[in-house]
Amino acid sequence: MHHDLERILIDRDEIALRVHELGEQIARDLLGELEREGSPPDASGRIVLVPIMVGSVIFLADLMRQLPMKLSLGLVAVTSYPGQSTTSKGAQLRSELPADLSGKHVLIIDDILDSGRTLAMIRSLILEQNPASCRICVLLDKQTERAEEVPVDYAGFSIPDAFVVGYGLDYDGHYRNLPDIGVLRVEEA
Ligand code: IMP
Ligand code: MG
């Protein structure tokens, strides 16, 4: 699989370090929310992670294990790069949104912020449910023009405008299991 990469952009050790840092920061902020509202630090039912499937699956698994408090998961599935596309075709919801987010502290998690359409859509649907707070965490922030502005609270790495795969990110369904993140080699026609 590594042969299909033009270059590795971020290796597994860098990712692990950064995910650890993000986890510490997020844990601090969420525990701060509980303290402000007078909930004990182990209060159940207050914190809900909303990962955007499938791309965020590996990031989610690593990040959530850095969060030492009670929390639950509400998955949401979105596709924007159907099949062999490397440009966004617009975000489409493929699952129901988690219900009962009213009054909860929500953390939306995605692999990468590109045009912003996916996160803008999910965020506005979640805000309709009146959560107590709603934050966004992305592993990668692609330096490109946004179609929609998104208030991102936590970003792991800023990356150039290239199509990347690995650590959950796919091309045509493949490469999600690469432990590193790399730029896909473009085949000469
Ligand atoms: P946006 O809606 O354009 O911001 O795109 C975000 C979604 O597109 C992410 O959740 C990813 O699943 C996917 N995506 C964006 N850029 C890439 C990339 O470089 N490689 C793989 N998937 C990507
Ligand atoms: Mg995605």
Per-residue pLDDT at 189 exceeds 60:
no
Q: Per-residue pLDDT tens for 57-80?
A: 999 999 999 999 999 999 999 987
Q: Per-residue pLDDT tens for 4-52?
A: 899 999 999 999 999 999 999 999 999 999 999 999 989 999 999 999 9
29: CA distance to ligand 1 center in Å?
26
- Pocket perturbation via mutation, ligand 1, pick of 110, 114, 185 by most ligand atoms within 8 A of CB: 114
Atom of ligand 1 minimally distant from the CA of 116: 4
Torsion region of 53: left, alpha or beta (phi above 0 gives left; psi -120 to 50 gives alpha)? beta
What is the model's pLDDT at position 187? 74
Q: Of 110, 111, 114, 180, which one is the catalytic site residue?
A: 114
- List the residue whose alpha carbon is closest to atom 11 of ligand 1: 112
Over range 118-128, report the average pLDDT.
96
111: CA distance to ligand 2 center in Å?
6
d(CA 54, CA 169): 8
Residue at 188: amino acid letter: E
- Pocket perturbation via mutation, ligand 1, pick of 56, 75, 93, 118 by most ligand atoms within 8 A of CB: 118
Q: Per-residue pLDDT tens for 82-119?
A: 677 777 667 888 888 888 999 999 999 999 999 999 99
Q: Does ligand 1 have an atom closer than 6 angstroms to the CB of 91? A: yes
Among residues 51, 15, 52, 3, the alpha carbon closest in space to that of 175 is found at 3
- Contact predicate 80/111, CB 8 Å: no
Look up 114 and say whether it is catalytic: yes
What is the model's pLDDT at position 23? 98
The neighbouring-strand residues paired with 157 are: 140
